[in-house]
């Protein structure tokens, strides 16, 4: 068996001709692979992550993995323990509370900044994503749900062209995503509710306050209700 411990599809294999072989291409691919792995919940909190393991999983040398792990550790998406071991951080009530607070402070602000930049084409795109999300909730596909929910929010946020707030929010998502995945694993996706439709309407009407409210509502719907009690009953 060549498969190691867990889930990460091998890299595009660097197969035939070129692809985009520029400076640091391998590192970028490794970064993207691990990052989406974290955002879709394919890494379990508390579980150790080894450099050589990921390297062989992805079919590359340990070198780019080392650098990517450092990057993700700097974003608090991973935790380097004193022994040098790297793992997905465990969620604690305090951490959860802070992430929730930070999201509520930053995301509405960035959404508002995106508002003027969002075109009709973006609205169409967001509607399409939201439709897919609804299907995922019905079908119970947690991983696809997480991927699409991320796509929805960041399609809005990216429109702002932000170089400061966006990376901060990026860091936050990387921190809570693995935990949320375990939540969905327990309670299922049926209970999920969001305010994406309210957000889309607010964007259409160019209503800043309505957009802020929708984003804040969406965050509290997604995190505020569920997470707390899970953490407390563990």
Partner DNA sequence: CGTGTCATTTTGTGATCACAAAATTCACTT
Partner DNA sequence: AAGTGAATTTTGTGATCACAAAATGACACG
List interacting residues with a copy of itself (CB under 8 A). 22-24, 66-68, 70-76, 80, 82-84, 94-95, 98-99, 101-102, 105-106, 109, 161-165, 167-168, 171-172, 175
Phi-psi region of 32 (alpha: psi -120 to 50; beta: other; left: phi over 0): alpha
Burial (CB count within 10 angstroms: exposed 0-12, middle 13-18, buried 19+), residue 27: middle
Decide if residue 51 touches DNA (CB under 7 A). Answer: yes
Among a copy of itself, DNA, none, the one that 60 touches (CB under a kind-dependent 5 to 8 A) is DNA
Among 32, 46, 74, 85, binds DNA (CB under 7 A): 85
Beta partners for residue 48, in sequence order: 87
Report the distance separating Cα 177 and Cα 30, nearest Å.
19
- Under rule CB under 7 A, how many of the chain's residues touch DNA? 24
Write 205-211 long-range contacts (CB < 8 A, 24+).
206/115, 206/116, 208/112, 208/115, 211/108, 211/111, 211/112, 211/115
Question: Is the CB of residue 84 less than 8 Å from the CB of residue 77?
Answer: no
- Of the two residues 24 and 167, which places its CB atom closer to DNA in the complex? 24
- Residue bearing tokens 């693995």: 178
Question: Is the CB of residue 133 less than 8 Å from the CB of residue 152?
Answer: yes
- Of the two residues 82 and 233, which places its CB atom closer to a copy of itself in the complex? 82
Decide if residue 84 touches DNA (CB under 7 A). Answer: yes
Among 7, 10, 25, 143, binds DNA (CB under 7 A): 25
Nearest distance in Å: CB 9, DNA: 17
Q: Helix (H, G, I), strand (E, B), or coil: what is residue 52?
A: helix
Among 20, 22, 233, 234, binds DNA (CB under 7 A): 22
Decide if residue 60 touches DNA (CB under 7 A). Answer: yes
Site for DNA, rule CB under 7 A:
21-27, 49-53, 60-64, 66-67, 80, 83-86
């Amino acid at each position: 068996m060549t498969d190691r411990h867990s889930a990460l599809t091998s890299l595009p294999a660097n197969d035939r001709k070129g692809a985009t072989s520029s400076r640091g291409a391998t590192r970028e691919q490794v970064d993207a692979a691990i990052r989406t792995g974290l955002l879709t919940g394919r890494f379990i909190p508390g579980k150790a992550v080894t450099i050589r393991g990921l390297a062989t999983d992805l079919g590359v040398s340990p070198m780019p993995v080392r650098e990517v792990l450092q990057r993700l550790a700097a974003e608090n998406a991973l935790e380097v323990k004193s022994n040098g071991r790297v793992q997905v951080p465990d969620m604690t009530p305090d951490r959860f509370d802070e992430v929730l607070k930070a999201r509520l402070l930053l995301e509405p602000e960035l959404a508002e900044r995106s508002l003027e930049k969002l075109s009709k084409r973006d609205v169409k795109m967001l509607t399409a994503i939201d439709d897919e999300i609804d299907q995922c909730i019905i079908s119970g596909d947690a991983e696809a749900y997480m991927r699409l929910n991320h796509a929805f929010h960041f399609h809005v946020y990216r429109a702002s062209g932000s170089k400061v707030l966006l990376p901060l929010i990026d860091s936050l998502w990387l921190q809570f995503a693995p935990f949320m995945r375990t939540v969905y694993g327990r309670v299922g996706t049926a209970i999920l509710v969001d305010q994406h439709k309210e957000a889309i309407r607010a964007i259409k009407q160019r209503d800043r306050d309505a957009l802020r409210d929708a984003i804040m509502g969406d965050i509290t719907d997604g995190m505020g209700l569920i997470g707390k009690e899970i953490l407390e009953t563990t």
